[in-house]
Chains A and B, each alone.
Chain A
Amino acid sequence: MATPLIRIPILQIEDFLVASIQVALHDRSAVQFRDDLLQRIHETKAKGLIIDLTAVDIVDSFIGRLIGDVAEMAALMGTRVVVSGLQPAVAITLTELGLELPGIITALNLEKGISTLRRLTREEEGEG
């Protein structure tokens, strides 16, 4: 029996990729999301990726770890990952679960996430 797989749209804005999760992701869709993200990063060689979680009200250890994995793998490909819009309730539960998401830059909302990425990539380019 085929399960409906949800595909999260991944948009490109300037040099960055933006993915906003608007629905509840079950495990298989989450895995698909991770694969889609890594695929797009590879294709576009994006400097940054913003995963926006403003509309997500429950994040458990599976999604938490998945996001951590995406950040690690993206870093290997030279892409910075910003997670934006984490709700207070989600931040608290993730902390209490013991998930820290190191290596991930966080921003309060999508707008701040984009300006953070811009600032970081400008700094990097300045150094180069």
Chain B
Amino acid sequence: MSERTLLVRSDLDIVSARVEGRDMAKALGFGTIDQARIATAISELTRNIVLYAGEGIVTLRPVERGNKKGIEVVCEDHGPGIEDVNLVMQDGYSTSRGLGMGLPGAKRLMDEFEIESQVGKGTRVTARKWLR
């Protein structure tokens, strides 16, 4: 199975991304619940791109580490960036529909979560979920 890269710039793309994510998760052998977690996390992350950066790219790929198999989701954009990542990742933080609202939720749904962001440059979020 190869990776899929999708351009995300509208709410239609959010739906496409999460359906692709769900399909890839299913093909990789994830159960129904984990498929939903992965698809929902993708939905949260890509919505962030659309709302705050206007457009970006999401890449979905199967990954392996040792004898673990899983899925990796990478969301990249050249949007305004997040000034204080730690603050934004705190549960309950909200700037009433402000930047980064989907991030803590997506983090809870996935097993690994990394975020790099620079103001003025953009943001990259990498999230992984492993088969149990």
A contacts B directly (C-beta below 8 A): yes
Q: Enumerate chain A interface residues (CB-CB to B < 8 A).
A: 3, 24-28, 57-62, 87-90, 92-93, 96-98
Given the contacts A24-B19, A96-B37, A98-B91, A60 and B47 also touching, CB distance less than 8 Å: yes
Answer whether residue B43 sits at the interface, using C-beta atoms and an 8 A cutoff: yes
Across the interface, name the chain B residue whose C-beta is closest to A23. B15
B78 in the interface, Cβ–Cβ < 8 Å? no
Residues of chain B within 8 A of A90, CB atoms compared: 36
Partner of B109, one of A3, A59, A87, A93: A93
Q: Give B contacts to A, CB under 8 Å.
A: 10-12, 14-15, 18-19, 22, 32-33, 35-37, 39-40, 43-44, 47, 91, 101-102, 104-105, 108-109
Q: Is the CB of A26 within 8 A of B14?
A: yes
Are A61 and B105 closer than 8 Å at their CB atoms?
yes
Q: Which residues of A contact B105 (CB under 8 A)?
A: 61, 96-98
Expressed in whole angstroms, the minimum distance between the Cβ of A13 and any Cβ of chain B is: 29
If A58-B18, A58-B22 touch, does A97 touch B36 (CB 8 Å cutoff)? no
Given known pairs A58-B22, A60-B43, A93-B40, the reply for A98 and B101 (CB within 8 Å) is no
Is A92 in contact with B15, judged by CB distance below 8 angstroms?
A: no
Query: Taking the nearest CB of chain B, how far is it from the CB of A24, in angstroms?
Result: 5
Shortest Cβ distance from B11 into A: residue: A27
Contact B43 A89 (CB under 8 A): no
A and B contact pairs by CB, cutoff 8 A, 6 listed: A25-B15, A87-B36, A88-B32, A93-B33, A97-B105, A98-B108
Cα distance A89–B39 when bound, in Å?
11
Question: In the complex, what distance in Å separates the CA atom of A97 from the CA atom of B14?
Answer: 17
In the complex the two chains form, what is the Cα distance from A26 to B18 in whole Å?
A: 11
- Asked if B35 and A89 sit within 8 Å, CB to CB, the answer is yes
Residues from chain B with Cβ under 8 Å of A57 in the complex: 22, 36, 39
Q: Indicate if the CB atoms of B33 and A89 lie closer than 8 Å.
A: yes
| B12 and A58 contact, CB distance less than 8 A | no
Query: Are the CB atoms of A26 and B36 closer together than 8 Å?
Result: no
**How far, in angstroms, from A68 to B120 measured CA to CA in the complex?**
34
Contacting pair B15 A24 (CB below 8 A): yes
In the complex, A62 Cα to B37 Cα: how many Å? 15
Of B11, B37, B47, B108, the residue contacting A28 (CB under 8 A) is: B11
